[in-house]
Amino acid sequence: MTKKIAVLVFPGTNSEEETLRLLRACGGDAHLVHWSRAALLRDFDAYVLPGGFAYEDRIRAGAIAAHDEMMDYVIEGAQAGKLVYGICNGAQILLEAGLVPGTGEVRRPTAAFTRNGPVPHFVCTHVWMKLAIDPQRSPILRGLERGALVPAWSAHGEGRLAATAEELRALRDGGHVAFVYAHEDGSVDDSAIPNQAALGCAALVNRAGNVLAMMPHPERDGWTFHHPDRRRGNAMLEPSGGAVLFRSFVQAVNA
Q: Please say if 26 is a catalytic residue.
A: no
| CA atoms of 32 and 23, how far apart (whole Å) | 11
Catalytic residue among 16, 158, 176, 217: 217
Q: Residue 235 pLDDT > 80, yes or no?
A: no
Residue range 190-211: mean pLDDT, rounded: 97
206: three-class secondary structure by DSSP: coil
- Mean residue pLDDT across the chain: 94
Extract the runs of DSSP E, i.e. beta strands, from the chain.
4-9, 29-34, 46-49, 83-87, 112-114, 123-131, 149-156, 160-162, 177-182, 201-205, 211-214
Q: Please say if 17 is a catalytic residue.
A: no
Catalytic residue among 96, 201, 219, 226: 219
Q: Please say if 219 is a catalytic residue.
A: yes
Q: Are strands 46-49 and 112-114 parallel, antiparallel or unpaired?
A: unpaired
| CA atoms of 118 and 169, how far apart (whole Å) | 22
**Looking at residue 119, what is its pLDDT?**
79
Give the domain CATH number at 218: 3.40.50.880
Domain extent, residue 110, equals 4-254
pLDDT (tens digit per residue) in 27-53: 999 999 999 999 999 999 999 999 999
pLDDT (tens digit per residue) in 67-97: 999 999 999 999 999 999 999 999 999 999 9
Name residues whose C-beta falls within 8 Å of residue 115's C-beta, 6 or more positions apart in sequence. 157, 158, 160
Catalytic residue among 16, 26, 88, 158: 88
Give the distance from CA 29 to its chain's centroid: 19
Do residues 107 and 67 lie in contact, with contact meaning Cβ atoms separated by under 8 Å? Answer: yes
What is the residue-wise DSSP string for 86-108? EETHHHHHHHHTT-SS-SS-TTS
Residues in the chain: 255
| CA atoms of 193 and 209, how far apart (whole Å) | 24
Number of domains in the chain: 1
pTM for this prediction: 0.95
